[in-house]
Amino acid sequence: MTPAGFRLSIPRSVMSGLRSHLEAGYPLEACGVLIGRIDGQTYTVREFRPMRNTVVDRPHDRYRFDDLEHLRVQREAEGRGLEIIGIVHSHPDHPARPSAFDTNWAMDSRDSFNAYVVARVERGGMMEARTYRLSLERARLEEEPLLIDDAGEKPPPG
- For Zn ion, the binding residues (CB under 5 A) are 99, 102
For Zn ion, the closer of residues 83 and 102 by Cβ is 102
Nearest approach, Cβ of 34 to Zn ion (angstroms)?
Answer: 16
Q: Is the CB of 1 or the CB of 100 nearer to Zn ion?
A: 100
Give start and end residues of each alpha helix (H) in the chain. 12-25, 67-78, 100-108
Assess contact for 98 and 105: CB atoms under 8 A.
no
Q: Are 43 and 85 in contact (CB under 8 A)?
A: yes
CB distance 97 to 104 below 8 Å: no
CA dihedral angle for residue 76, residue 80, residue 81, residue 83, rounded to 10 degrees: -30
**Nearest residue to Zn ion, by Cβ distance, number only:** 102
80 versus 139: smaller Cβ distance to Zn ion: 139
Question: What is the nearest approach in angstroms of Zn ion to the Cβ of residue 81?
Answer: 30
Q: Report in angstroms how near the CB of residue 145 gets to Zn ion at its nearest.
A: 20
Smallest distance, Zn ion to C-beta of residue 154, A? 31
Please check whether residue 121 is in contact with residue 93, taking contact to mean a CB–CB distance below 8 angstroms.
yes
Nearer to Zn ion, 13 or 99 (CB): 99
